[in-house]
Every structure is written in C-alpha cells, then in structure tokens.
Amino acid sequence: MANIAAVRDYLLGLQDRITTACTGIDGTPFAKDRWTRDKDEPLQGEGVTAILEGGPVFERAGCGFSQVAGPRLPPAATQHRPELAGAPFEALGVSLVFHPRNPYAPTVHMNVRMISAAPAGAGEPVSWFGGGMDLTPYYGFEEDAVHFHGACKAALEPFGGDHYPRFKAWCDDYFYLGHRAEQRGVGGIFFDDYAQGGFANGFALMQAVGDALLPAYLPILERRKDTAHGGRERDFQLYRRGRYVEFNLVWDRGTHFGLQSGGRTESILMSMPPLASWAYRNQPAPGSPEDDLYKKFLVRRNWV
C-alpha cells in the first residue's frame, strides 16, 4: 500500500534542503510561492514553487514541489501503461532546474516523482516512481562529467548493479533532441514507471536519487562559478540555452504531462532560462572549446 504522506514529507524536506544549500552558495534567498488549485479546475492540489532569480551565482534557479490529483491520466503518463489510460490519479514530485550565471558552470536538472492511479473497475491503486538528473554544460570538462556520473552510479548501486547502466542509457535516449540529432548534455540517469520490488523499494530508490543531487552538482558548481569569462562565452551560453528551451517544449514528457493535465503553467515552465538566443547555422571554429563541446561532450560516452 502506497504511503503518500511519507512521500510528501520526504519531498518537502528535499526541496528545503536543496534550496537552503543553494542559498548558502549564492547568498540570495528563494522566493516561495505557495499555491492551490481552485476547486472548479480539473486538476486539484497544491504546491510550493521556490524561485531564485538574478543572484550572483544563479541567474535563475527553480525548485518546485507539487501534489495534484486529477480525474484522468493524460497521454504523457500512460505511454507504457495503456491499461491506465483515463484513470483517476494522484501525483507528487519535486522538480528543479538551475541555470548558473557563469558560462563555465553547467545547468542541472533533477526530478523525482510518484504517481498513483486507480485502474478501471475494482482493484488496488497502482503506484510507480520516476525521475533522474542530468547535466548540461556549455563548456565541457572531463572531471565534471566523471564526478556527476560517479555520484549517480553510487546512488543506484544498493539497488543492483544493473541499475546505473540501464538508467544511464535511458537518460541518453531520453535527453536527446531528435530534430537536431544531438544530445542535450552529458546525461546522467533517468527512470520511469518504476515499481520493481513494490512501494518500499521504489520509494527508497527515489530518495537515493533525490539525495544524490547536492553531492553530484555542488562540487562542480563551486569549481566553475567564478571562472573568468567574456562576451564570447556568454554568447555561446545563451545560444546553447536555446537548445534547452527546444528540448523542454518539444520533447519533455514532464512538461507535456503538466500542460496536458491542466497543471499550473507558471510552475511547469520555471525550468526555462531567463535569457536564451538562437542563430542561424551557428558553426564553432574547428578546434575551439565550443567545437569540443559538440565533439567530445554532446555524444554518448561511458563516463565511469
């Protein structure tokens, strides 16, 4: 039996731990927007959207908690569970995207969630977990990618040696811009529809992934946040942020789930960078650091 209260308590605590740690680095507190859905709206529930904007380290950092219930699962949530199409559901999760100001500091994304749905007719509700984290650098560093993947692997090892390679490959497949034939970044781990070992095991795995975010990302941020840079690096950062926007709007199932289910648009789109740019057929100079990003980092590699 799913213990939704325990999941809620964990997720709210995770959001608080992450935002507190990031405020400690940036010096700017997160503004917390507590919201509830009107009783006349199709999606009921509440959440806390925590946003830090315009800080010296984070240009924009969003970390949101939500707990919502709806009359029918949207298509984005039933791709692998067609028997639950149209079933009433409840979903809880924490999702974050941090866009640092320095072009040498990578963007990071993390999401952990649980969905519970009642199948048509009689029967116990079905619960499953999903989430993961991935790293999107604008300038690539081998040690950063190795560290990030090492933390992801360590988080999953207690659940079986097959989990990291399987979830790493899943992440590579998922965070791929099909219209560009390009990886979003250096990847990480991703999993969905996870019910292996029942509720207790799935909940424990979700907690392991959530708890791994700070040790996976903060050492990288500390190394890169004060790196000297100029207009060239800033222009390239904004150009590459455009790819981030493209992925979130065209391919991301979480964005689609939120919008299709009538979710809170402002919170769903908090992952967008504050500034981004596009240029027609931007081609980095051969052998440049920008060219290295494409050739050495936006490719599928075994980092650990």
Among the listed residues 99, 109, 147, 149, the single catalytic one is: 109
d(CA 301, CA 185): 11
To 10 degrees, what angle do helices 198-224 and 142-156 make? 160
d(CA 170, CA 172): 5
- Distance from CA of residue 32 to its chain's centroid? 19
Phi first, then psi: give them for residue 186, nearest 5 degrees.
Answer: -95, 5
Task: List, in sequence order, every residue forming a beta bridge with 67; answer none if it has no partner.
Answer: 46, 92
d(CA 91, CA 128): 10
Phi first, then psi: give them for residue 99, nearest 5 degrees.
Answer: -110, 100
Q: Report the 3 state secondary structure along 2-24.
A: CCHHHHHHHHHHHHHHHHHHHHH
CB 45 within 8 A of CB 67: yes
Residue 109 bears catalytic tag: yes
User: Catalytic residue positions?
Assistant: 109
